[in-house]
Amino acid sequence: MLSVEAIETRYGASQVLFGVSIQVLAGEVVALLGRNGMGKTTTVRSILRLTPPSAGAVRFDGRDLRGLPSYQVARLGIGLVPEGRQIFPTLTVEENLMATARYDMDGRRPWWRARIHDLFPTLKERAGQMGGTLSGGEQQMLAIGRALMTNPRLLILDEATEGLAPLVRAEIWKCLARLKEAGMAILIIDKNIAELSTLADRHFILEKGRVVWEGNSHALATNQDVSQRYLGV
């Protein structure tokens, strides 16, 4: 579904990504791992053309995304839950959800308010509350719900559970497991290796803007040298 092919990305004269290649198959959950500052968020920004790569290619369902503005990339079926949530603070929960509602490419609307409320009952309870007054965990639920309301075929989450209380993190992981069961393709960035090992089918580790390791959850769990070298603090 998603093919990132040897991309190089810069911020001005500073190069951040050096030939990064990753893939996400339909219905697959892929984790993008690495310490802070290693290029994970830049990879996401490159995929969505928020920071277009200077070399390499990104293809979604076989379509080359070069030259497309980011809003057209999103319309192809990529939903983003950004780092920091970035919900609309002066809109209600309901308005945040409705602001991004759209049909999918086949004219269907599988993700609508009732299904979001089933996934996150708290959002139904907070429907009339301003987004800026929600707790961090509730804002993250809203950010995921807002992305799903675009009816994506690929959901990207940047720091899915960062800074959340343990009970809220557990609810987010349960939600992502349900999305996987429903066949949603997911690319996820998070630091919780234990939960990712249960959820993700494959993992890519970035170090200084390069992919230094890739493999499945079993390979990651049994390779302590890789975890200590690239993921340890």
pLDDT one-digit tens code per residue, 33-79: 999 999 999 999 999 999 999 999 999 999 999 999 999 999 999 99
Query: Which residue in 8, 45, 6 sits closest to 187, CA to CA?
Result: 45
Which conformational region is residue 36 in: left (phi greater than 0), alpha (psi within -120 to 50 degrees), or beta?
A: beta
Q: Considering only 20-34, 105-119, 160-174, which range has the smallest mean pLDDT? A: 105-119
Query: Which residue in 168, 147, 169, 171 sits closest to 157, CA to CA?
Result: 147
pLDDT in tens, 8-25: 999 999 999 999 999 999
pLDDT in tens, 194-228: 999 999 999 999 999 999 999 999 999 898 888 88
Say if domain 1-70+191-233 classifies as CATH 3.40.50.300: yes
Backbone angles phi, psi at 4, to 5 degrees: -105, 120
Residues 6+ apart with CB under 8 A from 69: 49
Q: Kindly report the pTM of this predicted structure.
A: 0.93
